[in-house]
Amino acid sequence: MSDFTNGFWSLYVAGATLAGIVACLLLLWITARKKIPARADNTTGHVWDEDLTEMNNPLPLWWVGLFILTIVFSLLYLVAYPGLGTYPGELGWTQRGEYEAEVAQANKELEPLYAQFTARPPEELAGNANAMAVGERLFMNNCAQCHGSDARGSKGFPNLADADWLYGGAPDKIKETVLKGRVGAMPPMAAAVGSPDDVKNVANYVLSLSKAPHDSVRAQLGKAKFGACAACHGIDGKGNQALGAPNLTDDTWLHGYGEQAIISIVNGGRTNEMPAQEGKLTDAQIHVLASYVWGMTNKPQAPKP
């Protein structure tokens, strides 16, 4: 209830809930007081299908008792649990608390499984079939939504199955990325580059760095203007993993390929976010997951006897 952005709706739902309970009490009270005159044969005079006669019998006491118990139970439930707007309930129960308790229990049950992996380095785990099976499940449940089930990503989502890394591909760097997440931001650079024609020249120069098809004349003119980009991507355009700035000299294009795609990025900038898994996954799970990701593009070490 507290997730509503306007307090009116919390009060509306609470009012509707209490009104429903009061209506049930009124219904029971009114029907108990209302007397329908009965005929000598104890019928109401209503007949359906020629021979189906309505009798004038009172409601069974067991049914009335259950009806009253239901109303009492609903009132006690609203006192104990959240159900009246922002009122949290006397027991302090929350969906988040229930979820966290279940996750904690599941992690406790899985501790013996991960205990066999935590002391082993990622380079060795990458060659362990059991560890990689667990890592694959972790990847499918937590990473595949963005990076794809084959880890090859898509436009705006990095390919984890190649050797191109924005922040570095060492096991510790991968673990750091999974644990803390990443926020990569390229600000709009059109004003720093110059006129729209200058932006187009820079786009062609960037294409020339990776030997992609480009206008050589424009590329030569854009080389001087590339200085505005060099602070992050470097004078040689090979990027900076400390900043997460992409290497512009390879053929990996995270946000699209070609002159128009680059112009769009220079004009509008780009922001990418990899959510942190700290708190969602245990340290042991992150260790196995990082080992799985590292093993996609690296040859694992032979396990020690």
Task: Return the minimum-mean-pLDDT range out of 7-11, 213-217, 282-286.
Answer: 7-11
pTM above 0.75, yes or no: no
Instruction: Give the count of alpha carbons within 13 A of 263, CB side only.
Output: 11
User: pLDDT-derived band of residue 209, with 50, 70 and 90 as boundaries?
Assistant: very high
Per-chain mean pLDDT for the chain: 90
Q: What is the pLDDT of residues 219-254, one digit of tens each?
A: 999 999 999 999 999 999 999 999 999 999 998 999
User: pLDDT-derived band of residue 8, with 50, 70 and 90 as boundaries?
Assistant: confident
Tell me how far apart the alpha carbons of residues 45 and 302 are, in angstroms, rounded to a whole number: 91
User: Count of CB atoms within 10 A of residue 203's CB?
Assistant: 26
Q: What is the pLDDT of residues 15-59, one digit of tens each?
A: 999 999 999 999 888 888 877 676 777 787 788 888 888 887 778
Angle in degrees, CA 77, 80, 81, rounded to 5: 80
pLDDT value at residue 1:
46
Which structural domains are found in the chain, ordered by start?
7-80 (no CATH), 100-181+275-297 (1.10.760.10), 185-274 (1.10.760.10)
pLDDT value at residue 38:
65
